[in-house]
Structure 1
């Protein structure tokens, strides 16, 4: 009979621990980023390197966390056309949108990734090494919708 209580206690502790880890990963560290915060100022890197040009942003929704530089994600609209962007700014070679928390529903990494692969969107370098080994990437759609995330660059793998 005592074994049932011990086993049940272990199961309850494991469930509580699992719930705590889930909450920490999904909600605990994230904070909304204000549209007036420095992180909301979106730039694109010009062809030929170096210069970062700010772009017009409307309807900005963003999240970030101090726990990791990879947790930044944002959604917004811009009036820059894809034709202008591809002629002016650096296309990002290997964009990999990272999965965000489920509650941040304006950002769907799987859909963005599929659209990038299918050519329905184009990814651009926003800022190289925004943190050591981490780039900021912007995906632009023809209708002006845009998404931003941070991802590891090739220097992080060294």
Structure 2
């Protein structure tokens, strides 16, 4: 009888611990980014690499966390065409959207990544080293949708 009680206690503790870890990773660290806040201001790096142009971001939805610079995700709409963007701004060849939490519905990293590979979207550098070793990347679609994330760059400590 004691073995069953101890085994059951271990299982209950493991389930509670698993639930706490899941909640903290999926919900606990994230905060909504308020439209109009500094974190909601999106820019693109011009071809010269030094000039950042602000981008008109309508319908901005974003999340971020203090626990990691890689947790930033955002979605918005813009009037900037891909043709104009490719002539003016730096294309980001190594774009790899990072998976966001399931509840952040507007952002789907797998779809964005597949669209970038298929040429249905184009990624641009928003800001190099927004934090040391981390770039902000913007993916633009022909219909005006845009998605933003942070990813490690070549200068990140491996």
Q: TM-score range by the shorter chain?
A: over 0.9
Aligned to 2:132: 132
Shift in Å, 1:157: 3.8
Runs (5+) with no aligned partner, structure 2: none
Aligned to 1:142: 142
Q: Where does structure 1 differ by over 6 angstroms across 4 or more consecutive aligned residues?
A: none
Residue 107 in structure 1 maps to residue 107 in structure 2: yes
Aligned to 1:32: 32
Aligned to 2:82: 82
Distance 1:40 1:110 in 2: 23
Runs (5+) with no aligned partner, structure 1: none
Distance 1:40 1:49 in 2: 21
Q: TM-score, normalised by structure 2?
A: 0.99
Shift in Å, 1:49: 1.0
Q: TM-score, normalised by structure 1?
A: 0.99
Superposition RMSD on alpha carbons, in Å?
Answer: 0.6
Distance 1:60 1:108 in 2: 15
> What is the aligned length?
158
Shift in Å, 1:98: 0.4
